[in-house]
Amino acid sequence: MKTLLFLTADFANLTQDNKVNILGIFNQVFAPKFPTLHPQYHLVVKVGLEPGEEPKNRKLTLYLVGEDANAAKVKVFEETFDFPERIGGFDPEHAVIMSVQGMVFPAQGTYQFLLHIDDRFLASLSLYLREQPQPQPPKPQIEG
């Protein structure tokens, strides 16, 4: 199994013919204070089947962890799926676009999404949350 896409974006969708449209890819969020509410973002995952792998009854799971990954691992998504048939030598692909609305991040720091296929780790995606820098007051102009 290979990871073809794993990212966060302002918006994403999947067309009827399985094209992935993505707008505003990011990996940093700046907030005025914490905890903070992120109103909406999209998590995009696309995985590809490699030759010899079983296409049926696969399980994709996404977890979110904070700075201390051992303390809290929250399952945010899980599905069982079948890859499409292999046609013309192309390796089958499977895409998931998850719209996340109203997520609260309790503190600044590094959060990670963990991608598991069939209960085995496949990839991670870091999302960095930082306090928004305060604007510096303008320096006084000296007239002379």
> 13-54: per-residue pLDDT in tens?
999 998 999 999 999 999 999 999 999 999 999 999 998 898
Domain 2-131 has CATH 1.10.3720.10: no
| Residue 82 to residue 110: CA distance in whole angstroms | 33
Q: Determine contact, residues 44/5, Cβ cutoff 8 Å.
A: yes
Residue with tokens 């700046």: 30
24-28, 67-71, 92-96, 117-121: segment of lowest average pLDDT: 67-71
pLDDT digits (tens, 9 = 90+) for 48-86: 999 889 899 999 999 999 877 666 789 999 999 999 988
CA 14 → CA 47, 98, 109, 116, 142, distances in Å?
14, 11, 30, 21, 57
The domain ranges of the chain are 2-131
- pLDDT class for 104, splitting at 50, 70, 90? very high
Please report the pLDDT score of residue 134 as a whole number.
79
